[in-house]
Amino acid sequence: MVLTIDIDNSTTNVGLFNQNGKLCFRSGLTTSRNPTRDQCAISLMNLFTLYHADLKEVSGAVISSVVPSVTAHMSGAVELLTGKAPMLMGPGIKTGLNIKSDLHNQLGSDIVACSVAAIDQYPTPIIIIDMGTAVTMSYLHDRTYEGCMIFPGVLVALDALSERAAALPHISVEPPASIFGHNTVDAMRSGVIYGNASMIDGMIARIEEHGQPAATVVATGDSAPEILRYCKHSITYNADLLLQGLYLIYRKNTEGRRRS
């Protein structure tokens, strides 16, 4: 079995794939900025207990991280529990992508993993929308990564609005009763929901102006479901896209070894 871990600024997603590439479980943990190796190990042990999985069956692991302060501790935890050092996404890892980037090491490993999974599953050209702490939109044609755009995430923008405007409260992201807010909370919810949906629709249109029309628009990330239902474009939601990409990258880089 292959353990996949994605460390984001807000959430650490953990998935376990069996020998057939089927996702056995997926779980999200709050990302702690300064965990110890043992704290990471305890969190992983608890997940395996919760989902009735056996750590002894893990034959390999791969980690994607955009939080350097956590990477080494999580890597050490995986090695402590499985006896095997995990594969770390970064320079030298084979992805099968032709990446158009001034500096390849500046492209987030989470974006790379999503791209690998999308190309494996969907027809191109593909627009990938990842709605997490930040919102990223990527465009791929054949196996070429053409580039991306990065925006503030839904919750990041909402928190900034509440903190900078003294009269505006902190609110949850929920659908408003109408596009026209009749009180402060509903007005904010309308702005967040419809504003982000309009941004997604507008950016899809602009991307297609500069490239071929997308055969697939796929989205992932915790914030996506609340926003996508208000978009005018047809968008496929795949919650496991990133973890699927990590699994595929692990397999690509371990070909010729014993199948796990």
Q: Residues with catalytic annotation?
A: 110
Q: Measuring CA to CA, which residue among 63, 140, 62 is closest to residue 101?
A: 140
Give me 203's structure tokens.
């950016």
Which amino acid is located at 141 in the chain? H
- The Cα 168–Cα 191 span in angstroms is 13
- The Cα 52–Cα 50 span in angstroms is 6
Per DSSP (E only), the strands in the chain are: 2-7, 11-17, 23-30, 60-65, 87-88, 98-99, 126-131, 134-141, 144-152, 216-220, 236-237
Give me 248's structure tokens.
């595929």
